[in-house]
Chains A and B, each alone.
Chain A
């Protein structure tokens, strides 16, 4: 454990921290949304009369929006309330504000909806039961299409000694942050203010401005402490409605989702069908074909981020000379696909790893040796033509194999051990900026992100500042500023925060320390030290208290400020392999290898994970305790994806399990001991060579558990989650 205790722990343990759901303002009204009862249909009428007749109730729907935004015109494809048909279940059709939550909910129920239900496209396999033919191009069911190819896959497969063809199916899963979405909006003095539990204040500002048609500068987003994000709070969701209600009411409006609504309205990973075909000769992969059908729900055509990004994970991290990869983003009547932690990558790793195990077995090769033989190394070229930077995954896999060997020596009969690997790209998002402000007694990092729990801001950014300046952590304070005064940052997601903001801190520190040295009449950079209860700067043999080095105006403004920014280099891929759509380049490759030992109850199919080990390529550790915490948390989240989590939809397209009883995340009682080892030495693009760590831990988990299950009982599962019933069924068929 680190000797330094995270600065936010004390306040959180005292119950004093204000999350989105805790926000309150004098005179505030409580908001509630009116949600579509059907997944698809034509809106005939949204009659607010009965709701408005109730005392103190403010009710708005599509017709009210133009006047509320002063005639501004937002993105026509994303109005707050649908102008055209209903395209997903629980789509917001109206919004209510009232003096109490009960009154708001009662008024919401009083809104009279007249809807002509339309046929529901409930799942992607009803659209495409088989792989679609080439004529599917302009189908309204397709929101995106990507295709890339290198070489002649058909010919290579025809010549291969062994060819394995399989289909994998993965389920929709939710982020399940314990805190539902919540925000508090107030409109006044020409500005639209919203405080929100969000991973990305600037993202919310941009999104909300787009939806409402307002200039970004007129919207001020201030964050709150966030009770978990995991990708679900990276874009705006409630803010436009809260702002419209606040504008209509002339009072602050608090709008939060019930937990049921959190499931219904949340945007997350949706189901997928993955067809994989691999040919092997003489122990080498000669060709691979990947065909992805990804349910993107009601995503708009051309706005699918997932397919071109995710499909790369179905190709790697393995050397693949000849390949063909194609993906369709399939529209169904579900809430649009949204980012989860390492969006869709755990599902990809599950399919790839399980498939390559099967391929190896079919070719008579040890599955782990097979993967090791094809694994990318530093400097390798990926199928999309990128060069892999320093890459610790081979070392991680070797460490995992060692561990698996040690465990196998004492493995009871009927239990199994499995290994899984996964890779990730970090440092995404446009970039970030920070301001450092040095006062006589402390260094403040002024920035625009919120601490969502990982510690990437409250610890990570502060740790970088500490290391860079030489100051102890106790002298570093992180300030959370609203978008009106904060330096820009893209958001806390994508495992990018410490890396990007850390680099920005680094740049600002260089500027700051250089300026201090200059004021001391020395070249280079100064160092900062504690002296007599305050801070002093040292350079060129001289030391002066910071207080004496500040100008009068600087003292008034709180200290000497320095700005730093980091915008990562543009990434590019080999576009010559792209035949359709947009593929995304990755950057700062990182990876992990995991080992699981499981026991399978062959009669019930229940899987119990007995112990777990993880080996992570982290580049450089910024804060060991936070890193350990991220890995432990990500692994357990992955166990949920692997074993128990599954969104279930009815035939009418509505979510059948919008609650924590029937959508099962892991509890304390089922968590195995987890051993974590960090591999440093393969530096990445973050400060001191760090690589992002927020998402990699979840990625290999389903693959690892599936491998262990197979080892334990021979069942080869091709569907997630590995529920007891699925395992039992696979055993029966085996």
Chain B
């Protein structure tokens, strides 16, 4: 763990320049640091320069007629504390509270979680079912991309060189739910998680699995079978069973494949039930 230089640019342009000034991989981005500093400690990376985003004006949270734009360096604890969140995006509130512990969430950020793209990320499955878009800024300007395309695998995103995640945009409020299974109820990594949401505007369901390699995935076939705000129990059960056969459900040291398959069916049923219950009188 050799030392590194820390720079804290005040503008996007400065940040991009600081990243570009060194060969790829030698300059890395620091948001909350809860993943980055672990990577440094464990010897996974040895950057020469760390570019801190703390002076950039991205610790923002803006509701606009039901849509939500989250600045990428907003701490998760601040997102969690937003009074509108449990009502408008209940699944996201659950997902945020699932990340680590309260003190960790004081520094951990949405952007950092997204950029780390961990297969067991608690936020990414939820962002998928909320049709989140990620706003990126870099030397080539600004671009926007669905999270589903942005996240490609563990630690792999479509980030271009010297590009930064600036914000995450959630187009609308949705009845939604996030359920997970872990060995320990708090402060643990999920063995499996399921995010469910239904769009009030197009009426369709979204489902996603988390905790599976290489990345959380949407479940389009299952989604297609769920119709209406209150799908019949038989349909939900069928969908749940089918998800249990999904090829992404493999075994690792956290859970065997057999257990994950069993969990998938259970958690899909529960996530949908929870989202259905939240559909009642949804704003």
With an 8 A cutoff between CB atoms, is A112 at the interface?
A: no
Bound together, the chains give a CA A603 to CA B253 distance in angstroms of 20
Contact (Cβ within 8 A) A667 B186: yes
User: Which residues 253-268 of B have a CB within 8 angstroms of A?
Assistant: 253-256, 258-259, 262-263, 266-267
With an 8 A cutoff between CB atoms, is A729 at the interface?
A: yes
**Closest residue of chain B to A665, judged by CB?**
B184
Q: Looking at the complex, which one of A603, A725, A732 makes contact with B266 (CB distance below 8 Å)? A: A603
**Closest residue of chain A to B270, judged by CB?**
A603
- How many B residues face the partner with a CB closer than 8 A? 22
Bound together, the chains give a CA A725 to CA B254 distance in angstroms of 10
Scoring B residues 1 to 28 as 1 if CB is less than 8 Å from chain A, else 0, what string do you get?
1110000000000000000000000000
**Closest residue of chain A to B260, judged by CB?**
A725
Question: Whole-angstrom distance from the CB of A34 to the nearest CB of chain B?
Answer: 15
Q: Looking at the complex, which one of A102, A604, A648, A657 makes contact with B181 (CB distance below 8 Å)? A: A604
With an 8 A cutoff between CB atoms, is A9 at the interface?
A: no
Given the known interface contacts A106-B1, A106-B2, the answer about A604 and B183 at a Cβ–Cβ threshold of 8 Å is no
**Closest residue of chain A to B1, judged by CB?**
A102
Bound together, the chains give a CA A605 to CA B263 distance in angstroms of 10
Question: Whole-angstrom distance from the CB of B104 to the nearest CB of chain A?
Answer: 11
Contact (Cβ within 8 A) A669 B183: no
Given the known interface contacts A102-B1, A105-B1, A106-B1, the answer about A725 and B189 at a Cβ–Cβ threshold of 8 Å is no
Question: Whole-angstrom distance from the CB of A106 to the nearest CB of chain B?
Answer: 7
Bound together, the chains give a CA A102 to CA B189 distance in angstroms of 29
User: Which residues 156-197 of B have a CB within 8 angstroms of A?
Assistant: 181, 183-189, 191
A-B contact count (CB 8 A): 51
Bound together, the chains give a CA A729 to CA B259 distance in angstroms of 8
**Closest residue of chain B to A668, judged by CB?**
B186
Contacts of A106 in B (CB 8 A): 1-2
Taking chain A's interface residues, is the majority helix, strand, or loop, or is none over half, making it mixed? loop
Contact (Cβ within 8 A) A670 B185: yes
Contact (Cβ within 8 A) B186 A670: yes
Bound together, the chains give a CA A81 to CA B132 distance in angstroms of 56
Bound together, the chains give a CA A661 to CA B1 distance in angstroms of 22
**Closest residue of chain A to B254, judged by CB?**
A662
Contacts of B181 in A (CB 8 A): 604, 606, 724
Contacts of A605 in B (CB 8 A): 259
- How many A residues face the partner with a CB closer than 8 A? 24
Contact (Cβ within 8 A) B187 A648: no
Q: Looking at the complex, which one of A102, A656, A670, A729 makes contact with B253 (CB distance below 8 Å)? A: A656
User: Which residues 659-686 of A have a CB within 8 angstroms of B?
Assistant: 661-662, 664, 666-667, 669-670
Contacts of A662 in B (CB 8 A): 189, 253-254
With an 8 A cutoff between CB atoms, is A628 at the interface?
A: no
Contact (Cβ within 8 A) B1 A723: no
With an 8 A cutoff between CB atoms, is A644 at the interface?
A: yes
Question: Whole-angstrom distance from the CB of A686 to the nearest CB of chain B?
Answer: 37
Contacts of A715 in B (CB 8 A): none
Bound together, the chains give a CA A729 to CA B256 distance in angstroms of 11
Contact (Cβ within 8 A) A667 B259: no
Bound together, the chains give a CA A644 to CA B183 distance in angstroms of 7
**Closest residue of chain A to B101, judged by CB?**
A667
Scoring B residues 238 to 265 as 1 if CB is less than 8 Å from chain A, else 0, what string do you get?
0000000000000001111011001100
Contact (Cβ within 8 A) B255 A725: yes
Question: Whole-angstrom distance from the CB of B188 to the nearest CB of chain A?
Answer: 6
With an 8 A cutoff between CB atoms, is A614 at the interface?
A: no
Question: Whole-angstrom distance from the CB of A330 to the nearest CB of chain B?
Answer: 24
With an 8 A cutoff between CB atoms, is A728 at the interface?
A: yes
Contact (Cβ within 8 A) B1 A725: no
Question: Whole-angstrom distance from the CB of A642 to the nearest CB of chain B?
Answer: 12
Contact (Cβ within 8 A) B183 A724: yes
Question: Among A656, A657, A661, which residue has the most Cβ atoms of chain B within 10 A?
Answer: A661
Bound together, the chains give a CA A662 to CA B188 distance in angstroms of 8
Bound together, the chains give a CA A666 to CA B186 distance in angstroms of 9
Bound together, the chains give a CA A102 to CA B256 distance in angstroms of 39
Scoring A residues 700 to 734 as 1 if CB is less than 8 Å from chain B, else 0, what string do you get?
00000000000000000000000111001100100
Contacts of B3 in A (CB 8 A): 102
Given the known interface contacts A603-B266, A606-B181, A728-B259, the answer about A667 and B1 at a Cβ–Cβ threshold of 8 Å is no
Bound together, the chains give a CA A603 to CA B271 distance in angstroms of 14
Contact (Cβ within 8 A) A669 B256: no
Contact (Cβ within 8 A) B253 A661: no
Question: Whole-angstrom distance from the CB of A261 to the nearest CB of chain B?
Answer: 13
Contact (Cβ within 8 A) B2 A648: no
Bound together, the chains give a CA A666 to CA B185 distance in angstroms of 9
Chain A to chain B contacts (Cβ below 8 Å), 21 pairs: A102-B3, A105-B1, A106-B1, A603-B262, A606-B181, A644-B184, A656-B253, A657-B253, A662-B254, A664-B188, A667-B184, A667-B185, A667-B187, A669-B185, A670-B185, A723-B183, A724-B259, A725-B259, A728-B259, A728-B262, A729-B259
* Top 8 A-B pairs, shortest CB-CB distance: A603-B266, A669-B186, A725-B259, A664-B184, A604-B181, A670-B185, A667-B186, A644-B183
